[in-house]
Structure 1
Amino acid sequence: MNFLQALHPDLVKVFDDVTPSPSIETLVKNRQLVHYSELSLPTSVQVEEQFIKTPHNDALRLVIMRPVVKHSKRCFIFYHGGGMVLGCPDASLPFLTDVVLETGCSVILPQYRLAPEHPFPAAMHDCYDTLCWAYEQAGKIDIDEKLIAIGGASAGGGLCAAVSLYTRDHGGPPILFQSPLYPMLDYRNDSPSSHAITSPFVWNREKNVASWAYYLNGMEPVSSYASSLLATDFHQLPPTYTYVGTLDLFRDETLSYVTHLTAANVPVEFHLYAGCYHGFDLEQSVPVSKRAKQQWLGALSAFFEQYGA
């Protein structure tokens, strides 16, 4: 596949000045984190951080973003991306500002532990424990425990799917709905799209294989709470909204996931964007990315209205 020729026309210019990304090993070695105090966020949102003690982490950092003029008790827990080995919650705040302002949500983001220093199940435990904390502390943080939804992008989407499975199987807090965007779901990397996407300009097969190896750390057998497509039962999972691009190596596992959910009678809304690569929605200067985000924001509001009634 000629990756650049297959790009959506809106996205072609994005690659004019892009250079190939370093290897995962190099990226992990040179991790760069951002703090929300360094960001230019609108004055209509307020951000704070809390450190909580959980059964698995003595100091789990949470970043909480709320509208200054609060008019809702909705809560959206969002898990950041980064292949389970990179990233931090603060970097997702600019993308999530519209979620706060358009849905009225409080958005909570955990700084979950990263592999290889902390392989599975550390990240999943941190993400699940964030859900439990929000549910248990709902009155103190001014949310409704019945209006908690979860979501995430890429690795965060995979963690979202894992938390939904784990919560169902362990009798955890109710999840109103989930929104795992272009999620990282299958460690086997054996789908056509996982083989097709090798471009050095995007999240590709080489990076994905290396990230899974760091995250799983040789685990055998692999748990479905690490790799959600290994699950054998998709019943009673939360209503789901997701999307992915046709040039995303996670295309086929996302398609498989929504097929499993649909077969299990889980309400699903899914969008496949032609010519779009992994994380295309972050390019908010181009029409197709704006459209994907606006449709997502509309779906979040609609899902809160429909399932939170």
Structure 2
Amino acid sequence: MAYHPNLDPELRAAIEAVPMPVTDLASMTLEQLQRMRAQANAIMAAAPRIETDVTVEDRHVPGPDGAPEVGVRIYRPAGDGRDRPGLYWIHGGGMVMGTPRIDDAMMIDYVERLGLVVVSVDYRLAPEHPHPAPVEDCYAGLAWTAKAAGELGIDPARLAVGGASAGGGLAAATVLLARDRGGPEVAFQLLICPMLDDRDATPSTVQHADAVVWNRDANRYGWRALLGDRVGGADVSPYAAPARAGDLSGLPPAFVDVGELEVFRDEDMDYALRLARAGVSTEFHLYPGAFHGFDMMVPDAALSRRAREARVAALRRAYGLQG
């Protein structure tokens, strides 16, 4: 494929050397999607274990009222510890794919570097489970994490919520729910290239319709899987598409980042600006020449390292950690 002229040279060299597989998600049937999920899960299960002292535990915790239990994956530093910072994490996957395992390396790195405890939620996926099932699972997992903070060794005053891509959108929505339902208290929100707006109406959705990794057709597929015929309509909830929220005041401090060459670029820029205008302390990064998920696809690139360090630094400040 022809890549955008603004593509970072180091990223370009990497994806030209090892071209990414092309998946036409937009034309995929439910059966094909489920098969793709199963294949991805099998690959992850067969991957070598990351050598680390971090303990990883899978549990099931109470779900939303009348719904099944929710899976969570808990990452804790070696040794005993109390009153550690906590990160409640929500994985990506376009609302239709993914499990907490896909972020094992990132979460283990956060635990090792920051001494925090991570709880990563395994929410139900669309289209089998459309809105509000995914966000309600995420909220239920957050409520359990806050309630179990003492057992987990988490300082409840230093509990952040974060996520990437669809997980970033769900993180923003979960934080909105926590504000509007009177808790749990959230100290910080880490929104990495979040999926926020179902309306498909920003300049970047047109400019980067053929974007690397997550293009416009895939984005439309993800939103339609979540919202069905309501997508783009007037009655979409901000807890499904946080860009729809009219009032962003009273939310915790935020970090938002996105690549220049993404469908999500403009909705993320706008959300960060609206947070700041609402009085929410906000840090925003637009990475020049970067495509969606660049830091995971080309982890050794200078731009990828810079992005990861900015997120770690933001968490460090939010938690009041030294160094």
Q: TM-score, normalised by structure 1?
A: 0.94
| 1:244 equivalenced with 2:258 (yes/no) | yes
Change over 3 Å in CA distance of 1:166–1:115 after alignment to 2: same
Residue 212 of structure 1 is matched in structure 2 by 223
Residue number among 224, 238, 262 corresponding to 2:276 in the alignment: 262
Distance 1:43 1:292 in 2: 23
Residue 34 of structure 2 is matched in structure 1 by 29
Query: Would you say how many aligned residue pairs link Structure 1 and Structure 2?
Result: 307
Question: Aligned AA for 2:25?
Answer: S
Contact 1:52 1:58 in 2 (8 A): no
Distance 1:37 1:135 in 2: 33
Please report the RMSD computed on the Cα atoms of aligned residues, expressed in angstroms: 2.0
Residue 122 of structure 2 is matched in structure 1 by 111
Deviations 1:220-265 (A, max 9, x none): 6111110111111010011001211100110000000011101001
Contact 1:70 1:104 in 2 (8 A): no
Residue number among 223, 237, 247 corresponding to 1:233 in the alignment: 247
Deviations 1:135-155 (A, max 9, x none): 111112221221110000000
Q: CA deviation at 1:134?
A: 0.7
Distance 2:118 2:205 in 1: 31
Contact 1:77 1:108 in 2 (8 A): yes
Contact 2:211 2:261 in 1 (8 A): no
Q: What are the residue-to-residue correspondences of 1:1-309 with 2, within 5 Å?
A: 3-16=3-16, 17-18=18-19, 19-24=21-26, 25=28, 28-30=33-35, 31=37, 32-33=40-41, 38-56=47-65, 57-69=67-79, 71=81, 73-199=84-210, 201-219=212-230, 221-282=235-296, 283-305=298-320
Deviations 1:248-295 (A, max 9, x none): 110000000011101001000111110000011112121110111011
Higher mean C-alpha displacement, 138-147 vs 118-127: 138-147
Higher mean C-alpha displacement, 269-278 vs 10-19: 10-19
Contact 1:186 1:228 in 2 (8 A): yes
Change over 3 Å in CA distance of 1:243–1:135 after alignment to 2: same
Distance 2:46 2:85 in 1: 25
| Secondary structure of the corresponding residue to residue 218 of structure 1 | helix
Q: CA deviation at 1:39?
A: 4.2
Question: Aligned AA for 1:15?
Answer: I
Deviations 1:142-188 (A, max 9, x none): 21221110000000000011011111111121000001111000000
Distance 1:42 1:99 in 2: 14
Distance 1:234 1:261 in 2: 6
Gaps of 5+ in 2: none
Question: Aligned AA for 1:8?
Answer: D
Question: Aligned AA for 2:61?
Answer: I
Higher mean C-alpha displacement, 164-173 vs 20-29: 20-29
Q: CA deviation at 1:53?
A: 2.2
Distance 1:204 1:54 in 2: 32
| Secondary structure of the corresponding residue to residue 87 of structure 1 | coil
Gaps of 5+ in 1: none
Contact 1:77 1:149 in 2 (8 A): yes
Q: CA deviation at 1:94?
A: 0.9
Q: CA deviation at 1:114?
A: 0.2
Contact 2:212 2:292 in 1 (8 A): no
Higher mean C-alpha displacement, 13-22 vs 175-184: 13-22
Distance 1:181 1:92 in 2: 13
| Secondary structure of the corresponding residue to residue 229 of structure 2 | coil
Change over 3 Å in CA distance of 1:15–1:37 after alignment to 2: closer
Q: CA deviation at 1:102?
A: 1.1
Contact 1:44 1:69 in 2 (8 A): no
